[in-house]
Amino acid sequence: GAGVSQSPSNKVTEKGKDVELRCDPISGHTALYWYRQRLGQGLEFLIYFQGNSAPDKSGLPSDRFSAERTGESVSTLTIQRTQQEDSAVYLCASSVDLGGRTPLQFFGPGTRLTVL
């Protein structure tokens, strides 16, 4: 599998439950990004991991959202006490460092989260 993979592809949960979404980046990609896409909208940046640097968490909408990444591999996005407004497609992307030029981001298929 050469591309970014995400699991699960679909997740239906009840309001108030916690959910965990997983992203497997392209092997060798040092950077990993999470975005949220609400229905009919563009992508909204959530968080960015680059190597061993501190992650850029500036896009996380509330403290119910958190993400972790182990080294340069898998990342998990956790949403605690889910709310109906959290319903969206959560997209992960990864990229290589292009030495000063903005990196090309390759996206996974997303996880469609529905909060009832």
Stretch touching another protein by CB under 8 A, among 21-29, 64-72, 75-83, 106-114:
106-114
- On the 0-12 / 13-18 / 19+ scale of CB atoms within 10 A, 37 is middle
What letter would DSSP give residue 62?
Answer: S
> Which residues share a beta bridge with 20?
78
What tokens appear for 107 in the block? 């996206």
Contact pattern from residue 39 through residue 78 relative to another protein, giving x for each residue in contact according to CB under 8 A and a dash for the rest: -xxxxxx--x-x-----x-xx-------------------
- The smaller minimum CB distance to another protein, of residues 14 and 54, is found at 54
**What character string, x for contact with another protein (CB under 8 A) and - otherwise, covers 9-38?**
----------------------x-x-x---
Q: Work out whether 103 is an interface residue with another protein (CB under 8 A).
A: yes
Strands (E) in 1-116, as ranges, are 5-7, 10-13, 19-24, 31-37, 43-50, 65-69, 75-79, 88-95, 106-107, 111-115
Contacts with another protein by CB under 8 A lie at 4, 31, 33, 35, 40-45, 48, 50, 56, 58-59, 91, 93, 95, 100-110, 112
